[in-house]
């Protein structure tokens, strides 16, 4: 008789002893979360921790998994910026729902590959159902489709490639194609254009207006100019929820322009797509129903663990045309009745990212999710009122989608020092461990930016953070 593989023998023992107690880690995580408001947002990594982590070897013989897990929790996972923290206000990211964690853990345990329908039939049906439901929130009909991806960057790339294949079929005209985007578009847009093979002169950046929305007059002038030069304007990028200011581009007018010049309108809603969950705020995205494609991350504002994004398209056939391939080794498992994921996007093997969103929506209901979105708008408004009430503070642009930008401009200090002053204030607050915020640059000025979209973030967290910034500013100012 053949010897059994050593690995299998060992795993029998693992199962027998149940040494990997995932449930214990989950319990501990939720216990920590209950007290999170009183904890520092990021536990500083001291030199002993760095030394310990660097001293870990990759062993020839395995070690006790309990010890390995404890090491990871103590020295690695708990040392990362806590996105669960209610005052994690720097990035476009929310605390995740315990339902998403449950869905993610469950999915990882079974580890389905949702590459094709035949490998994960009911998971694929759930993916399709969610995609169509999200498409319907955008006002699209049954013909819409799409796919879950790893993130907004991947969703943007997926949609832009579909645009290229649709508007420059066969890529014969690729050298003449021109794409247009605003100076507020996310960096993944320009990266995506580069990856699509566009030269710099084929990517035209349009200045935004005082509300950080793309300027339509400049846009149309540039489109006409490139047409007059014999080029082919083919792609127009809009945003709902720009990273800096949460601004929403004028979608109805952009849809008119796209239609007039035969261009593909892609909307980057990686951040702001989630306003479509809200019956109150979805009107801000009016015009989205005329877009060709939409990126929408649920790992940003809809409480999902990384990664969970969607690339959505008004006409599913456009993704199929762009991505379908028929390799011989997949013929046996190709579905005759349903679309296979590998025909709808870039990735082949894929985790079933849709299942954690499904778990969340089923367990939580859509009303509560809408409430989280509405509350972010409310919190941004509260922050705006509080900032305006503080002497020498300016709100730089009306907040949108829970993003608020502001600046300290005390008269007694020379204007040329405002950038450094605001930078120092933000750094001081973050160094205190109370909250995590960053600065950005708007129209050449460094401003403080907060994104109050965390599901754990209460109004009290936002107002206390604003108050603390006010106090810190008075101290920091003395050094200028
Ligand atoms: C507007 C926008 N688009 C795209 C992205 C990229 O998303 P991801 O980080 O999931 O790739 C971001 C990230 O913050 C974003 O804010």
Q: Where are the domains of the chain?
A: 105-364, 368-477
CATH entry, 105-364, from 3.40.30.10, 1.10.150.120, 3.40.50.970, 3.40.640.10 = 3.40.640.10
pLDDT tens, position by position, 263-286: 999 999 999 999 999 999 999 999
Nearest to 156 by CA among 357, 344, 339, 295: 295
Mean per-residue pLDDT for 26-45?
Answer: 86
Reduce the DSSP state of residue 445 to 3 states and report it: strand
Residue 323 in tokens? 């991505």
Atom of ligand 1 nearest to the CA of 243: 16
As a residue count, the chain comes to 480
Strand partners, 236: 180, 265
Atom of ligand 1 nearest to the CA of 155: 11
Atom of ligand 1 nearest to the CA of 239: 1
Per-residue pLDDT band at 4 (split at 50, 70, 90): confident
Mutation pick for ligand 1 pocket among 88, 154, 186, 401 (CB with most ligand atoms within 8 Å):
186
The span from the CA of 180 to the CA of 200, in Å, is 11
pLDDT tens, position by position, 138-154: 999 999 999 999 999 99
* Residues with Cβ within 8 Å of residue 471, at least 6 apart in sequence: none
Q: Do domains 105-364 and 368-477 have the same CATH topology?
A: no
CA of 387 to the centre of ligand 1 (A): 27
Q: Show the ligand 1 pocket: residues with CB < 6 angstroms.
A: 92, 151-153, 156, 186, 188, 239, 241-243, 268, 270-271, 297, 309
Residue 364 in tokens? 């939580």
| pTM score of the predicted model | 0.96
The CATH architecture of the domain made up of 368-477 is Alpha-Beta Complex (3.90)
DSSP assignment of 58-105 equals --SS---HHHHHHHIIIIIGGGS--TTSTTB-SSS--PPPHHHHHHHH
Residue 451 in tokens? 């994104």
Nearest to 181 by CA among 198, 166, 168, 165: 198
Average pLDDT, the chain: 95
- % of the chain at pLDDT higher than 70: 99
Are residues 293 and 314 in contact, defined by beta-carbon separation less than 8 angstroms?
Answer: yes
Q: Is the pLDDT of residue 19 over 70?
A: no
pLDDT tens, position by position, 140-191: 999 999 999 999 999 999 999 999 999 999 999 999 999 999 999 999 999 9
CA of 189 to the centre of ligand 1 (A): 9
Q: CB neighbours (10 Å) of residue 468?
A: 17
Mutation pick for ligand 1 pocket among 193, 243, 453 (CB with most ligand atoms within 8 Å):
243
The span from the CA of 18 to the CA of 29, in Å, is 20
pLDDT tens, position by position, 448-470: 999 999 999 999 999 999 999 99
- The predicted pLDDT at position 350 comes to 98
Per-residue pLDDT band at 320 (split at 50, 70, 90): very high
């Amino acid at each position: 008789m053949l010897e059994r593989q050593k690995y299998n023998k060992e795993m029998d023992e693992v199962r027998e002893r149940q040494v990997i107690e995932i449930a214990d880690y989950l319990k501990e995580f939720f216990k920590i979360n209950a007290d999170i408001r009183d904890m520092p947002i990021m536990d500083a990594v001291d030199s002993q921790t760095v030394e310990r982590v660097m001293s870990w070897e990759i062993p020839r013989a395995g070690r006790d998994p309990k010890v390995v897990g404890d090491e990871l929790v103590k020295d690695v996972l708990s040392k990362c910026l806590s996105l669960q923290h209610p005052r994690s206000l720097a990035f476009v990211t929310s605390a995740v729902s315990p339902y998403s964690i449950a869905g993610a853990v469950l999915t990882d345990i079974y580890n389905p590959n949702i590459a094709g329908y035949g490998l994960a039939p009911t998971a694929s049906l759930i993916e399709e159902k969610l995609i169509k439901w999200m498409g319907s929130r955008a006002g699209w009909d049954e013909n819409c489709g799409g796919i879950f991806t790893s993130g907004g960057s991947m969703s943007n790339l997926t949609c832009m490639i579909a645009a290229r294949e649709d508007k420059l079929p066969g890529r014969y005209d690729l050298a003449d194609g021109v794409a247009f985007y605003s100076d507020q578009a996310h960096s993944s847009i320009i990266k995506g254009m580069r990856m699509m093979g566009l030269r710099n002169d084929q990517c035209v950046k349009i200045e935004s207006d005082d509300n950080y929305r793309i300027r339509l007059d400049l846009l149309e002038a540039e489109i006409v100019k490139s047409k007059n030069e014999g080029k082919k304007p083919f792609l127009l990028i809009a945003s709902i929820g720009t990273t800096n200011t949460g601004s929403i581009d004028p979608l109805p007018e952009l849809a008119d322009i796209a239609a007039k010049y035969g261009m593909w309108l892609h909307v980057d809603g990686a951040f702001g797509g989630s306003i479509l969950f809200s019956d109150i705020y979805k009107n801000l995205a009016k015009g989205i129903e005329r877009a060709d494609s939409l990126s929408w991350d649920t790992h940003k504002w809809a409480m999902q663990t990384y990664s969970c994004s969607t690339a959505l398209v008004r006409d599913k056939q456009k993704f199929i045309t762009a991505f379908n391939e028929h390799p011989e080794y997949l013929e046996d498992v190709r579905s005759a009745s349903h679309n296979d994921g590998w025909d709808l996007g870039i990735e082949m093997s894929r985790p079933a990212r849709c299942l954690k969103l499904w778990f969340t929506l089923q367990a939580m209901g859509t009303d509560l999710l809408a409430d989280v979105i509405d509350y972010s708008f409310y919190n941004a408004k509260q922050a705006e009122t509080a900032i305006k009430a503080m002497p020498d503070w300016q709100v730089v642009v009306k907040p949108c989608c829970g993003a608020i930008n502001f600046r300290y401009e005390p008269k007694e200090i020379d204007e040329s020092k405002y950038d450094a002053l605001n930078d120092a204030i933000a750094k001081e607050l973050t160094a205190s461990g109370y909250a995590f915020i960053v600065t950005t640059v708007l129209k050449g000025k460094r401003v403080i930016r907060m994104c109050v979209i965390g599901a754990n973030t209460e109004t009290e967290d936002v107002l206390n953070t604003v108050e603390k910034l006010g106090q810190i500013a008075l101290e920091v100012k003395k050094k200028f």
